[in-house]
Structure 1
Amino acid sequence: MISDYIRTSSVSEVVDALVEYQPWGRILAGGTDILPKTRGVRQKKSIPLVFIDVNRISDFRTIKMENGWLVIGPAVTIRDLIYSNLIKEEAPVLAQAAALIGSTEIRNRGTVGGNIGSKNASADLLIPLIGLKAIVEICDTAGRREMNLEEILRKSVKDLGRRLVITAIKIPTGQAAYFGYKRWSRESMGRSYLSVMVIISPEIKAGSYRLKAIVGGGGLWPRSVEAVMPVQQLSATKSLTLLVKLLVEKGEKTNRRNMGDYRRQIMEVLLREALYTACEGGRF
């Protein structure tokens, strides 16, 4: 059952509340993920669930530039990402990805921090944020610290919203790179079945480019591969063949969930489209 509901106005209040109400304190922002996930718990009178509302923390709902970083508050909604002029200018691929998420209701209520902390491999923002080299600022009783998003997914994702508070998402600006993002979903479910992002960036060594591909969604946690190619060989066909080969090999080596033939075919189609988009951006 819900034994208490607490409105906080500072990060320290959130941290204190999580400590006080362990293990049943839960952060509440948009509520699109935490409410369905706690339905079973809320029906048990023996479990004193406590919701800790963070929507009154002003910094949590802002998008701003700070020392060369695009800083996004964890309670910023998906809709905010779509219509923010700062996002459109500094990270347009993030606005494009956000526009593909769920329904109007989900976009109006769902938050960036909630998407990251949902512990869901199908969370739509994981792929574009990893591709944009996002850093996540987190806080607990030991204070604030920063981790890149991929590291958090590997090490600390289970503690988000329970012991760890996401206080900001930071994206470096002025990246010399070209991005392509594609997503495929099952219309009946409205959730991402597979998402792909391709990043092409120039290497320090003249005449070569670094290719990076990230794939995830539908129960498949994000996996990424990289390769360096001379600009003369940077064609969509050669790049596609190489990236597919590397992604399949990585999946086999790490013993992760198998893609299967059907998903692999979808991945190849999405990779091709994302590659064309990135190549068009760089006029390759």
Structure 2
Amino acid sequence: MSFRAFSPQSEFEALELLNQQLEGMLPIAGGTNVLVDIKQRKITPKALVDLSRIKEWKKIELTEEGLEIGPLVTHSEVEASPLVAKSFTALAMAASTVGSPQIRNRGTLGGNLQSASPAADCVPPLLVFDTMLTLVSLSGKREVGVADFFLGAGKTVLRPNELISKISIKNCSNKISIFRKTGLRKALAISLVNLAVSLELDEDNRCSKARVAFGSVAPTPIRVKGVEAFLEGQMIDPDIIKALSEIVEREISPITDLRATATYRRYLAKELLKESILNVISTRRSSYGRDHSEFNS
């Protein structure tokens, strides 16, 4: 297979190339998905636009509103960033679970989004943080929420002449977040189910705001808004946690494939949610130095 390759040095150069709308032109960042798909002949591009030289897309910056992450920031850089770890723990945790060290060193956050895999590990954390994406073309910019970015497995709202230029997360320093996943092995595993939870709790574990998002339980990563609505205003206790199982059942629609049955995925989703909320409570307990031994019964 042969194809042309372009290496733009700036956002403008990349957009100019895409605007030519050459047949079979495909943007590429880390290449951890694209190159595998090319080798397996799942895709047959006629031209690749290598975005890796666009320096302005490789930054993690703190702003008054929160955090701005460039689409070319790698998973390793997300994992290692103190800015991410401090207030957006679930995202750092998710980045640390992606593939192998080699994949994390090459794969990018923008690529994880653009691949639109239902099992993408970094997407549920971005969902619970109400993340906004800036999409750019030569015609201008538009803002799209992560929840509205995905249309289905492998499909997004990106137009052929558009690219993700910025990932913006609002400040959530008062919240505790966590990420969990299960796979067929401990590393280099596609998630059977993954989950991110972000809760804002007071000293008595009353929840004022909840965000819960799953991957691998629907055609796209999803927020389970029924679970969120149920948790908000509640004093989180063992009975509340047990009651979540029925709500989760109604909100997810996993499939059976070579890696797991739909029934098993439903079981994993419920167990991961219980475990994650218990972990959040444990973190809050440590913060306040209070005893909540009833959660361990």
Q: TM-score, normalised by structure 1?
A: 0.85
Query: Is 2:35 aligned against 1:35?
Result: yes
Supply the distance in 2 between the matched residues of 1:91 and 1:152 (Cα, whole angstroms). 20
More strand by share: 1
CA contact (8 A) 2:8 2:14 kept: yes
Call closer, same or farther: CA 1:240–1:70 in 2, change over 3 Å.
Answer: farther
Q: In structure 2, what is the equivalent of residue 222 of structure 1?
A: 221
- Provide structure 1 residue ranges, at least 5 long, that are not aligned to the other structure: none
Q: 2:269 aligns with which of 267, 270, 275?
A: 267
Alignment of 1:56-135 (within 5 A): 56-135=53-132
Give the fraction of aligned pairs with identical amino acids, expressed as a percent: 23
CA contact (8 A) 2:151 2:220 kept: no
Q: In structure 2, what is the equivalent of residue 200 of structure 1?
A: 199
Alignment of 1:213-252 (within 5 A): 213-217=212-216, 220-223=219-222, 224-225=224-225, 226-229=228-231, 233-242=235-244, 244-251=245-252
Supply the distance in 2 between the matched residues of 1:178 and 1:8 (Cα, whole angstroms). 40
CA contact (8 A) 1:185 1:194 kept: yes
Aligned CA-pair RMSD: 2.8
Supply the distance in 2 between the matched residues of 1:265 and 1:182 (Cα, whole angstroms). 14
Supply the distance in 2 between the matched residues of 1:91 and 1:105 (Cα, whole angstroms). 23
Comparing 132-141 with 107-116, which one deviates more in the overlay? 132-141
Supply the distance in 2 between the matched residues of 1:16 and 1:267 (Cα, whole angstroms). 44
The one-letter amino acid paired with 1:168 is: K
Call closer, same or farther: CA 1:231–1:119 in 2, change over 3 Å.
Answer: closer
The one-letter amino acid paired with 1:50 is: A
Number of aligned residue pairs: 274
CA contact (8 A) 2:127 2:146 kept: yes
Structure 1 ranges of 4+ moved more than 6 A: none
Supply the distance in 1 between the matched residues of 2:51 and 2:192 (Cα, whole angstroms). 30
Q: In structure 1, what is the equivalent of residue 17 of structure 2?
A: 17
What's the secondary structure of 1:89's corresponding residue?
Answer: helix
* CA drift at 1:166: 0.6
Call closer, same or farther: CA 1:212–1:70 in 2, change over 3 Å.
Answer: closer
CA contact (8 A) 2:199 2:207 kept: no
Supply the distance in 1 between the matched residues of 2:184 and 2:160 (Cα, whole angstroms). 31
1:18-77 Cα distance to aligned partner (Å, 9 max, x none): 12143411111100011122335599xxx6611111122111111111333211111111
- Provide structure 2 residue ranges, at least 5 long, that are not aligned to the other structure: 286-291, 293-297
* CA drift at 1:209: 2.8
Call closer, same or farther: CA 1:212–1:86 in 2, change over 3 Å.
Answer: closer
Query: Is 2:154 aligned against 1:145?
Result: no
1:222-252 Cα distance to aligned partner (Å, 9 max, x none): 222222447664114423422x322221236
Call closer, same or farther: CA 1:38–1:279 in 2, change over 3 Å.
Answer: same
Q: In structure 2, what is the equivalent of residue 181 of structure 1?
A: 179
Q: In structure 2, what is the equivalent of residue 4 of structure 1?
A: 4
Supply the distance in 2 between the matched residues of 1:148 and 1:279 (Cα, whole angstroms). 28
1:256-280 Cα distance to aligned partner (Å, 9 max, x none): 7477321122112211111112222
Call closer, same or farther: CA 1:264–1:18 in 2, change over 3 Å.
Answer: same
CA contact (8 A) 1:24 1:48 kept: yes
Call closer, same or farther: CA 1:260–1:98 in 2, change over 3 Å.
Answer: same
What's the secondary structure of 1:192's corresponding residue?
Answer: coil
1:190-237 Cα distance to aligned partner (Å, 9 max, x none): 11111012222359xxx6534332121277522222224476641144
Supply the distance in 2 between the matched residues of 1:30 and 1:230 (Cα, whole angstroms). 39
